[in-house]
A and B are shown apart, each in its own frame.
Chain A
Amino acid sequence: DVKVTQSSRYLVKRTGEKVFLECVQDMDHENMFWYRQDPGLGLRLIYFSYDVKMKEKGDIPEGYSVSREKKERFSLILESASTNQTSMYLCASSVDPTYEQYFGPGTRLTVT
């Protein structure tokens, strides 16, 4: 079974804090993705990575950065958290970026 894990299920941070969200997959997938999901807006792609140290901006990269130092691990960084970054964050991986993606359980981040 493909497994995608995320470091936290729930996280509460203060405005201005630096936030790290980690994602690990065990299927040797080249491609990894970070989405945020908000009511009425669906899933929106923040960043994706198609190889170690390679990344591409998605639809809403502003205020976020990513790091992929190892194939199995993809981190999302909020340099200075703001209240409008309160959301559900989902990580996914896939063998091909346009095929079936396997999702992690999500991290619900609240920024106060």
Chain B
Amino acid sequence: SYVLTQPPSVSVAPGKTARITCGGNNIGTKSVHWYQQKAGQAPVVVLHYDTDRPSGIPERFSGSNSGNTATLTISRVEAGDEADYYCQVWDTGSDHYVFGTGTKVTVL
């Protein structure tokens, strides 16, 4: 089955840049979506189709996807960005959806 691997945690100071990676075999050939989940809440899409921001998501959130790694970048990090972040793809081989292992972003 297809596996997506994320670092368990990322710590970043306010105003700095956080980068969260999502590793998967040839993930660059798939569409990657990113979700933000704050404590006690349902996930919310922050990026879809690798780089597109849904309405209402700040420009500080951006993404890239190439080779075996997709990346979510949060620029000018704010305290309100503290959350768990998950990548997700549709695995056409199994016709299943797959989530990454999740990354906890801590704002110092």
A in complex with B: no
